[in-house]
Structure 1
Amino acid sequence: MLGEFKAFISRGNVLDLAVGVIIGAAFGKIVSSLTDDVLMPVIGWVTGGIDFSNRFIVLGTVPADYTGSLGDYAALKKAGVAMLGYGSFITAIINFVIMAFVIFLIVRQANKVLVKPAEPAAPAGPSEVDLLTEIRDALKKG
């Protein structure tokens, strides 16, 4: 059983998958930072100071013992208030679009690099007319 496990782990595609998952997780953090720390503040600035991280709709009641701000999404969430956090959802959609676009670019470039060279064209033989002419001549002779 240990030998089978060693053979399974040492196969190239398993190692490639592990490397891909690790790099993908790190890349996801980079894209999240790009979205949260660069793009969303710019989008907020362009839209007149809208902070998407604090865009939400309160669905439930706020507990009577809650002392924080009613505009603090993280504090309300920690207090257990039911909310619809559409700002976080918009940020997640932007993250997804950026990730999907970058993956598209990587796959597109990989397809260009890994494209197989075209097979050489078959040597040109006699045309159909030439073949029919040969058959006719052979029948006449024979």
Structure 2
Amino acid sequence: MDDYENYRTTIGNELTDLVTEKQLIKLHELLKKNTHIHNRVQASWINMIHEAFYIEDILNNENNTNHSFIKQKWYIFCLIRLWALRILVINLGCISILVIWSEMTFFSAKPVLSVFAQCVNAARRHYNYFTIEVRLNKIKTIYFYLN
């Protein structure tokens, strides 16, 4: 009987340490938050794995004549994209050089060295206000996209 009484007293002491309703609410909120974080991390991990396999396929097929991709995708990602990026780099480099040159020489009156000032002066000679506005808007658009 002594063991039974010891057991009852230990159970009695534990019953006073019961979890309150506020603690259960906090625990439930933490559980929901951690479940959401776990699902988000798991989805992110799956997306990264798919992207890694995709990039690995592209790298493996750059010099591959077997074309394990669909033919259109292989041409787009291994041939066309490469040359399109090279052409884009060359065009943006030329535009950057033109902008820098025009910034340095815009206020020189004689001779006019700025490319953009030449465009404005050519439109001014013909008194074509619309052309001046279109050219200035092109300059603004180029400036906007460069910044």
Q: Which has the larger radius of gyration?
A: 2
Larger relative contact order (CA 8 Å, sep ≥ 6): 1
TM-score above 0.5, yes or no? no
Judging by fraction of residues, say which structure has more helix: 2
TM-score (norm 1): 0.29
Give the TM-score normalised by structure 2: 0.29
